[in-house]
Amino acid sequence: MQLAPVYPVIYRLLNPLFPNCLWHGPTDEGAIALTFDDGPDPQYTPKLLAVLEQYQIQASFFWLGVCVQRNPELAKEVFLRGHWIGLHGYTHQSFPRLNTNELKNSLRITRELIADAIQIEPKKIRDVRPPNGLFTPAILRQLQEWDYRVVMWTVVPEDWLCPGISLVCQRTMAQVKGGSLIVLHDGYYGGRDVTATTANLIPQLLDKGYQFVSVNDFWQRKLTART
């Protein structure tokens, strides 16, 4: 069952309820963030990097610890190309299914694996996207207590179901607007089409006048807007 038409409704309902999460950037500007979950993957990520390099696009990647553990050199390559890095848990387990210690350890291990691979301090890796977009208010409070920043989404075209490149692009272009956080996947699910999808989407988005920024850029603008 495809839920792509429902995600915009979910976004509109949850966004005001959890304002401490990052759901979007400034809506009155033309900046958008292109994000990728579930990697890094040795089959799909290198080809995706080539497309991003071709258009000089900075993206944001939310990694699974198990994938970083298997592909540390690829993780380093992504970081060295200037992309922003966040956490997606050690494996793709929904956070509500984990107890407090399991969740804390999943994020800690993933953070340490990423930090070791890309050679930065672990505390600098703060952004977390919950697998499947699932969390509870209690989990959100825990993540904030542990000094993580929760990153959600605006546009979710369900590319992991591989419904076809044209349909994923059509869904994205129909929903995108200034400040959008677009979610695609370069892992086992969705990765098959991610390079062609991204190569198709970027020119369309550029033609519409959008500028690509990182998730961190959206955070900085959010903090500035509060002051």
Spell out the residues 6+ positions from residue 172 whose beta carbon is closer than 8 angstroms to its own.
Answer: 155, 157, 182, 201
Are 8 and 175 in contact by the 8 Å Cβ rule? The answer is: yes
Give catalytic status of residue 185 as yes or no.
yes
- Among all chains, which residue has been given the structure tokens 């919950």? 130
- Among all chains, which residue has been given the structure tokens 């950037």? 25
| CA–CA separation, 116 and 124 (whole Å) | 12
Are 65 and 114 in contact by the 8 Å Cβ rule? The answer is: yes
Task: Give the chain's length.
Answer: 227
Are 28 and 182 in contact by the 8 Å Cβ rule? The answer is: no
Question: Which residue out of 24, 83, 88, 185 is catalytically annotated?
Answer: 185
Cα–Cα distance list, 211 to 16, 33, 34, 134, 196 (Å) = 25, 8, 10, 29, 20
Give catalytic status of residue 24 as yes or no.
no
Question: Which residue out of 37, 38, 186, 193 is catalytically annotated?
Answer: 37
DSSP string, 174-196: HH--TT-EEEEE-BTTBHHHHHH
187 phi/psi in degrees, rounded to 5: -105, -160
Tell me the catalytic residues.
Answer: 37, 185
